[in-house]
Structure 1
Amino acid sequence: MKNQSLLFYSRCLLAALAITGTALEIIKYGIGMLMYYTVQSNLLVSVFAVYMVYAMHKGHDLQSSKFLRIKAAVTMSIMITCVVYHFMLAPLVDDFWRVENLLCHYIVPLYFLSDTLLVDRQQQYKWFDPIWWTLLPILYMIFGLVNGLFIKIPIPDAKDSPFAYFFLNVPKYGWNFVLTYAGTIFVAYLFSGFILAGVKSLNVGRGLLNR
């Protein structure tokens, strides 16, 4: 019971941080921030975390295989935000130490990953799950390319607007550059998904906070 109370308040904090980071991005820079994968993935985590808090309050089971497989997809979706930003985008920014920046790119992704690793029951994923976990980033890449090439909705504070990220800018860098970057990210994402699935397949009992 004590662990469940701790977990409940931990997820309340997770939801509050995710909502705060997402809200700050939109309030400070405009609704166009929703064109960024970063904001979309943090919005997804906000909604998911609020659902977890609600479900725990109602006494619903959040350890079923179906739920945990969906949660893993959300985990991977937010972690790509952290990894791609840290290695590819952070070196290019001038205003790194913004509260919303740290929340959306580091604190919320790593918090959500920790929740998945420490809380979720082991041995609940299917071998092919890491493949379908790639769906959201792939859909975003298609969305980003369609917007940049055809719709051309401007992206706030993006040097490559109407492309949200430089590695999607086909007119500037060409298809070879974009597909190479996209392919590299896809392979790394898929590989990371199998690592997560492998870690969660270990026979180490139930999640530490869910015993």
Structure 2
Amino acid sequence: MRFLRITALVAVIAGVALTAAGAATVSGLLPYFTIQSNVAYGLFAGWAASRGPITRPALKGAVTLYVTITGLVYHLVLANPASGFSMGPVERTFAESVGNQLLHTVVPLLAVLDWLIFDERRRFRWRYAAYWLAFPLGYLGFALIRGLITHTYPYPFIDVTDLGYAGVSLSAVFFAAAFWLLGLAFVAVDRVRWRAAADDRDPDPVI
């Protein structure tokens, strides 16, 4: 358990460092949801590795969901030519490619494994799926306000220059619905596993 969480923390640090080793800088990477979600999960993984049992399941669920969103959006949308929002072939150095895979593939997988296998206390509530939308929606507001100043947008599906505010609004509604459904899936899986674990702990009924 502790090994996996330390590995995830190291993967986050290495992923950011290797990505920043190219043309991008750390400050230039900060506006990306990828970096923010990975750093959030890395901090939580480091805290959990040093403190032991997870006592804040809603917070752990949130950071796990966000880094999972990072992995899914990258592989299904940004790196998928059929999505309509593909960022196309990107030239990267070897270090940047490794960093990219760490942040978009390795860390999300480690986060999901940690959640499914090692969380000691879990009991998500259905309303958490709505609460967990707060950060993605806040990020959208941040990206749009930043775009008004810099005239740049971190992702093509929130690029006002290309899509206009109507297009971005439609895109935002679609992604918000998808993230909410993913959150509900997290809650459903968690509750099934929690009940299964509770049944395993109960003695056999006397007949």
Shorter-chain TM band: 0.7 to 0.9
RMSD of aligned Cα (Å): 1.8
Paired residue for 2:153?
Answer: 163
Picking from 172, 175, 179, the partner of 1:182 is 172
Instruction: Kindly state the Cα deviation for residue 122 of structure 1 after the two structures are TM-superposed.
Output: 6.6
1:3 corresponds in structure 2 to none
Distance 2:64 2:41 in 1: 8
Percent pairwise identity: 29
Q: Give the counterpart letter for 2:196 in structure 1.
A: V
- Give the unaligned 5+ runs of structure 2: 81-87, 199-207
Is the Cα contact below 8 Å between 1:122 and 1:201 reproduced in 2? no
Amino acid of the structure 2 residue aligned with 1:81:
T
Return the match for 2:11 from 9, 13, 17. 17
**Alignment partner of 1:36 out of 32, 57, 64:** 32
Does residue 141 in structure 1 map to residue 143 in structure 2? no
Supply the distance in 1 between the matched residues of 2:65 and 2:160 (Cα, whole angstroms): 26
2:57–2:122 CA contact under 8 A, matched in 1? no
Q: What is the CA–CA distance in structure 2 between the aligned matches of 1:18 and 1:119, rounded to whole Å?
A: 19
SS in 2 for 1:35: coil
List per-residue Cα deviations over 1:114-152 (Å, max 9, x = no partner).
Answer: 110112247511220111111111111110000002x21
Q: Would the aligned equivalents of 1:18 and 1:104 in 2 still touch at CA under 8 Å?
A: yes
State the secondary structure of the residue aligned to 1:205: helix
In the superposition, the TM-score normalised over structure 2's length comes to 0.83
* Deviation digits for residues 4-55 of structure 1 (CA, Å, limit 9, x no counterpart): xxx1112111111111112222343202111111111111112111111111
Structure 1 residue 95: deviation in Å? Answer: 3.8
1:73-95: CA deviation from partner (whole Å, max 9, x where unpaired): 00111111111111111132334
Match of 1:54 in 2: 50
Cα-to-partner distance string for 1:171-202 (whole Å, 9 max, x where unaligned):
32212211111111110100010011001101
Quote how far apart the aligned CAs of 1:168 are. Answer: 1.2
Aligned mates of 1:54, 1:123 — CA distance in 2: 19
Match of 2:183 in 1: 193
Q: TM-score, normalised by structure 1?
A: 0.81
Do 1:148 and 1:163's aligned partners in 2 also have CA atoms closer than 8 Å? yes
Structure 1: runs of 5+ lacking an equivalent: 1-6, 153-160, 207-211
The amino acid across from 1:86 in the alignment is: H
What count of residue pairs does the alignment treat as equivalent? 184
